[in-house]
Structures are given as C-alpha cells and as structure tokens.
C-alpha cells in the first residue's frame, strides 16, 4: 500500500468509527477529552498504525446496512453478500460430518454410549480425551499443544512431503495461523533505526502481515508480485526490494504466501527453489504461509511445501535455512474458521531460541482445545477401512470440486467485461481482479478523501449490497486498482454476484466517463 492511500484509509476508518460511536455527554471528542487518561493522542502509536482492511470500514458499513435492512429501510437489494472474507461456512458451506461428530463426542462424552455415532469417530474422541488433563477438553493443554496431536501433525507432514522426517518437538499448535505468524515475527523483531528488523512481504499481501509489522514497529519491505505473469514471484524483484531496504533497515525475514492470498496464484517448484536459494544467500528467515495447501484448482498446478523443496535441495540447504511453515483449520475443505485451530512447524531454529519460543507461548497458556481436537482430525482423517471414510471423502471431494468450478467461473465471467482483468484463480479462495477506473472517478474519490478503489467498493456496496475489499487494503502498484472477492458464495449465488459486479462496473465506468 502506498503511504498516501494508507493514510487516506486510516483517516477514513477513524472518521467512520467516530461517527458510529455514541458520544456520551460526560466526555468524548469534545470538551473533556484532555481529562482522559487514554486518548488518541497518548495511546500506543504502533496500534494507531495498524490497519486491517478485511474487517475495515467497508465491512462496518456492510453491518450497518444489514441492520438498516432488518429495520425495514428500503434498498435496491434484500441482503448483503459478504464476499470480503474467507469464511466458507458463513457462505453456506456445510461442516464435514466426521469432524463435528468427534467434536460433539469430545464436548459431551456421555455420547460415547450412543449407537448413532460411528466407531471411528468414537475412537478418535476417546484418544483425544485420553490425552487431555482429567480426560476433558475443559483442561488446559501443554502450551505447545497436546503431545499426541503434535505427533499426528508430524506424521501428516511426513506423508504430505513424501517421507521427509518431521519432529513433533518442532510443531507448535496455535490459535489459528495468525497467532503463530505474529509469534514468529515477534521473536525476530529487534534493533533501532537502521538496525531495525525489516520483513519482506509480497504486494499484494494478506494484511495480517502489515498489521503485525506495524504493531511490532518492524519495517515493512514490499516486493511486488508480477500481475502480468499470473502474480508470479520473481527473484529479481526480491533482490531489488532487498537491496533498497538495506539502505534503511536490517532485513531478516522473507514472508511467502503460497497458494497466494489475495492473489490466488500457486507457486511452481522451481520458483520455490529460487526463493529458498535467495533466502540462504541473503541470510533471511523464511516464513511460509501455507494455509491454502489443499486449495489448488488449476490444471498443471500442484502444491509443493517449502519444507519438501528445502529438503530435496540437499543438506547444504536442509540443515541451514531457518524456516517456519504455517497451517490452519480455517481454510481447505473444512473451513472451520470459528474454532481457531492451527499449527506451525519450525525448522533449523536455534535450540535456545526455541526455548524462548516455548516460554513465550506459555504466557497465553494454550490454544483452544476444540481447535486442537479439530486439527487432529484434519491431520488424521478417516482411513479407507474405517466406517466414516466414504462419507468423509464424498464431502471433502464435493467441497473442493465446487471450489474449483467457482474458481474457473469467476475468472471467465470477470474477463468478459472491458475494464476488469482477472488472472486465473489457481488456488486459495480469492480473486483479485484489476479494475480500470475513469480519471474523474479517481478525482472524485480523492476529493472525498478515499482511495479510488475504496470509493468504487463503497458504491458497489450501497448499490448492490455486495461487500468486497478494495485492493488498497492489500497493497498494489501505484496507479493500479483492484478488489479482492472470495469465490465462496454458493455457485448459483456466485453467478448472480459476478453478474451484478460486471453490470455495476459498466454503469460506474459510464457514469464517470
């Protein structure tokens, strides 16, 4: 994100939030403000710099509109469609039966006597309960996560990566992937001025990264993905960004999101090798955000984990490059966002640092146990000889097939419209099409103190009830405009949404031409 659009966004967010907050007669923005202990002027400045567009002002306005609709206010639409966030079940995706059966059994073990539940679900629940303090998911676990679940995660990684060993001691369960990502960044940030830790992130990026870096006071180093080449990553661009950054900070970390969020690309094996070689040469800690590892749709694309590639590059790499890889229960075929489950695997981490990491996570006691249990089922799903296997596979396959269909549908429909250019959605859950905006719309937005794509998305929300996130919330090349939309609405609804956006785009273009 450019400094300008970032600043605009912040001001706008503040304004909207102030307008939305009831100001009590006893204080508020007016007279008594100087009397308060905690004000905008004397609060943590890093927090003020934090931005998180996925839940930013546009989503707040969407929630408001929903309330207005409920209260009977007439609108040109009857419901708000929230395509702003990768929240599959909110969009109607059904939970996987096996996962929820085991969770019910863990929550209320009296059900273990119930004949309705399949034996493999009961066996999984019993195993999880036996690993819990007092045989209850109401007890704290070890801060790193329940040991037998960490073992299951390690075995899952070994299967995924064709037998490359994984050590359960290197697995840390987490509260969603966000928690683990912030924790690793926190370990890495130090220094002042030109020695301050710099962290390389892709542009466009998932704004958790920029938010965490602002919060930690680290330096954000932008490298741009190549939109003309299907959002691919070019090591030349990494080199450019790194050498520019070395003038003013101490770059120590390289973050990669693969499959990409918000851009939906899937990295080639060759590209991953190049990135790893770059990280080694330039002495960077690698953070591989691989939460969409099961979400690969495009023909010829395949998910390669950074760890697998690292180990296949031989001991020169596999025994030296420091890395953390992140996964989550929120995405893939299960979409269990609400449980906040996840894990990370750390590789080649200094044992003394690992001890500090273990200490640090202990302060928050432990990740939520239902999320840990869920993760265990994801990494240890029903096997072909177990009673739940058929249903489980049917449900899983159906979700992934539908996502693949919607990914291709999205690309096709958007690309029919002049002024919308859309790369293939190779993986993940989003499309990030580029939109051409008339100059007069750009001017109008600037007058209103809004980023032009925010102006566009706000208009779309007001006119069609569709909630997207402006590209400026993820970062984009100066002078280009985008939005992020999830491909998660049910197919028929998605078609309508796409159609409406296309029509809106034509209308908007006409209005401002």
Which residues ranging from 154 to 173 are in contact with a second copy (CB under 8 A)? Answer: 169
Q: Which stretch binds a second copy (CB under 8 A): 80-88, 230-238, 264-272, 410-418?
A: 80-88
Neighbours of 418 (CB within 10 A): 10
Of positions 215, 274, 386, 463, contacts a second copy by CB under 8 A: 215
Please, are residues 185 and 216 in contact by the beta-carbon 8 Å criterion? Answer: yes
- Residue number with CB closer to a second copy (5 or 232): 5
Q: Measured between alpha carbons, how far is 189 from 364 in angstroms, rounded to an integer?
A: 20
Please, are residues 422 and 410 in contact by the beta-carbon 8 Å criterion? Answer: yes
Contact flags string 222-261 toward a second copy, x per CB under 8 A = ------------------------------x---------
Size of the site for a second copy (CB under 8 A): 115
Residue with tokens 């069609």: 464
Which residue(s) pair with 420 in the sheet? 435
Interface with a second copy in residues 256-295 (CB under 8 A): 283-285
- How does strand 81-82 pair with strand 434-435? unpaired
- Residue number with CB closer to a second copy (169 or 463): 169
Nearest Cα to Cα of residue 340 among 304, 306, 366: 366
Q: Does 112 bind a second copy (CB under 8 A)?
A: no
Q: Does 137 bind a second copy (CB under 8 A)?
A: yes
Interface with a second copy in residues 179-208 (CB under 8 A): 179, 186-190, 208
Q: Does 381 bind a second copy (CB under 8 A)?
A: no
Neighbours of 367 (CB within 10 A): 27
Q: Does 366 bind a second copy (CB under 8 A)?
A: yes
Of positions 69, 104, 400, 502, contacts a second copy by CB under 8 A: 104
User: What is the nearest approach in angstroms of a second copy to the Cβ of residue 392?
Assistant: 15
Please, are residues 61 and 67 in contact by the beta-carbon 8 Å criterion? Answer: no
Of positions 227, 273, 289, 322, contacts a second copy by CB under 8 A: 322
Give Cα 151 distance to the centre of its chain.
Answer: 25
Q: Does 491 bind a second copy (CB under 8 A)?
A: no
Which residue(s) pair with 484 in the sheet? 469
User: What is the nearest approach in angstroms of a second copy to the Cβ of residue 112?
Assistant: 11
Q: Does 398 bind a second copy (CB under 8 A)?
A: no
Q: Does 356 bind a second copy (CB under 8 A)?
A: yes
User: Peptide bond before 259: cis, by omega within 30 degrees of 0?
Assistant: yes
Of positions 159, 248, 359, 507, contacts a second copy by CB under 8 A: 359
Nearest Cα to Cα of residue 173 among 396, 22, 339: 339
User: What is the nearest approach in angstroms of a second copy to the Cβ of residue 132?
Assistant: 7
Q: Is 326 left (phi over 0), alpha (psi -120 to 50) or beta?
A: beta
Question: Would you give the DSSP letter of residue 427?
Answer: B
Q: Measured between alpha carbons, how far is 56 from 451 in angstroms, rounded to an integer?
A: 13
Interface with a second copy in residues 21-60 (CB under 8 A): 21-24, 26-29, 32-33, 35-40, 42-45, 47-48, 50-52, 54-56
- Residue number with CB closer to a second copy (105 or 437): 105
């Amino acid at each position: 994100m450019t400094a300008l659009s970032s600043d605009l966004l912040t001001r706008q967010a503040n304004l909207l939030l102030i307008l939305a907050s009831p100001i009590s007669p006893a204080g508020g923005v007016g007279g008594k403000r100087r009397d308060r202990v905690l004000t905008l002027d004397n609060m943590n400045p890093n927090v003020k710099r934090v931005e998180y567009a996925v839940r930013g002002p546009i989503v707040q306005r969407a929630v408001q509109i929903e309330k207005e609709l409920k209260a009977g206010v007439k609108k040109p639409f009857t419901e708000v469609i929230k395509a702003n966030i990768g929240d599959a079940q909110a969009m109607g995706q059904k939970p996987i039966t096996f996962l929820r059966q085991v969770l019910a059994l863990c929550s209320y073990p009296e059900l273990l006597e119930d004949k309705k539940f399949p034996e493999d679900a009961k066996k999984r629940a019993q195993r999880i309960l036996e690993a819990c303090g007092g045989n209850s998911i109401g007890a704290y676990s070890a801060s790193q996560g329940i040991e037998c679940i960490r073992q299951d995660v390690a075995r899952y990684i070994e299967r995924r990566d064709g037998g490359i060993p994984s050590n359960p001691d290197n697995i840390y369960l987490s509260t969603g992937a966000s928690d683990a990502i912030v924790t690793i960044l926190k370990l890495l940030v130090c220094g002042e001025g030109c020695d301050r830790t710099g962290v390389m992130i892709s542009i466009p990026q998932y704004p958790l990264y920029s938010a965490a870096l602002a919060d930690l006071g680290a330096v954000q180093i932008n490298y741009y993905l190549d939109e003309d080449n299907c959002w691919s990553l070019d090591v030349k661009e990494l080199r450019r960004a790194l050498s520019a950054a070395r003038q003013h900070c101490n770059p120590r970390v390289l973050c990669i999101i693969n499959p990409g969020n918000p851009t939906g690309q899937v990295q080639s094996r060759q590209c991953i090798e190049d990135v790893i070689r770059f990280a080694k040469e330039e002495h960077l800690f690698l953070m591989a955000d691989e939460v969409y590892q099961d979400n690969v749709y495009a023909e010829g694309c395949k998910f390669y984990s950074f760890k697998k590639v690292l180990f296949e590059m031989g001991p020169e790499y596999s025994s030296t490059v420091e890395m953390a890889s992140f996964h989550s229960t929120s995405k893939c075929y299960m979409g269990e966002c609400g449980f906040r489950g996840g894990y990370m695997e750390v590789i080649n981490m200094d044992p003394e640092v690992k001890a500090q990491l273990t200490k640090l996570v202990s302060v928050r006691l432990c990740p939520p146990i239902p999320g840990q249990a869920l993760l265990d089922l994801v990494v240890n799903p029903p096997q072909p000889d177990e009673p739940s296997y058929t249903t489980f596979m049917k449900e899983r396959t159906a979700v992934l097939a539908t996502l693949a269909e919607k990914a291709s549908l999205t690309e096709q429909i958007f690309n029919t419209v002049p002024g919308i250019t859309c790369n293939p959605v190779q993986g993940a859950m989003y499309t990030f099409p580029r939109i051409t905006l008339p100059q007069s719309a750009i001017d109008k937005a600037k007058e209103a103190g809004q980023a032009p794509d925010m102006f566009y998305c706000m208009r779309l929300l007001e006119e069609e009830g569709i909630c997207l996130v402006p590209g400026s919330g993820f970062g984009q090349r100066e002078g280009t405009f985008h939005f992020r939309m999830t491909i998660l609405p049910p197919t028929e609804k998605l078609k309508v949404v796409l159609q409406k956006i296309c029509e809106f785009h034509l209308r908007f273009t006409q209005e401002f031409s």
